[in-house]
Structure 1
Amino acid sequence: MDRWEFGMHLRSSGHHHGPPTVKVVYHLEDPESLTGGNKEVHELMAAKGEHLLEVAMEHGINIEHACGGVCACSTCHVYIEKGMEDLSEATEAEEDRVEEAPGLQRNSRLSCQCVVKGDGPIHVRVPAWNRNAIKEIPH
Structure 2
Amino acid sequence: MHMKASDHDHGPKTVPITFLLEDPEPLTGDASKTEVTCMGAVGENILEIALDNHINIEHACGGVCACSTCHVFLEVGEEVCSEPEDDELDRVEEAPGNQINSRLSCQTVIESESPITVKVPAWNRNAVKEVPH
Same fold judged by TM-score > 0.5?
yes
Does the CA-based 8 Å contact 1:34-1:131 persist in structure 2? Answer: no
The residue number in structure 2 matching 1:85 is: 79
Percent identical among aligned pairs is: 61
**What is the rounded CA distance, in whole Å, between the counterparts of 1:46 and 1:80 in structure 2?**
15
TM-score, structure 1 length as denominator?
A: 0.89
Question: Gaps (5+ residues) in structure 1?
Answer: 1-7
Match of 2:16 in 1: 23
- The runs of at least 4 consecutive aligned structure 1 residues that moved more than 6 Å come to none
| Equivalent residue for 1:136, pick from 125, 130, 133 | 130
**What is the CA-CA distance between 1:133 and the residue it aligns to?**
4.6
TM-score (norm 2): 0.93
Query: Which of 106, 112, 118 matches 2:112?
Result: 118
The CA RMSD measured in Å over matched residues stands at 1.6
Of 54, 57, 67, the match for 1:63: 57
Shift of 1:21: 0.2
How many pairs are equivalent? Answer: 132
Letter in 2 for 1:26: F
Distance 1:88 1:14 in 2: 19
Q: Are the equivalent residues in 2 in contact too, given 1:74–1:97 (CA < 8 A)? A: yes
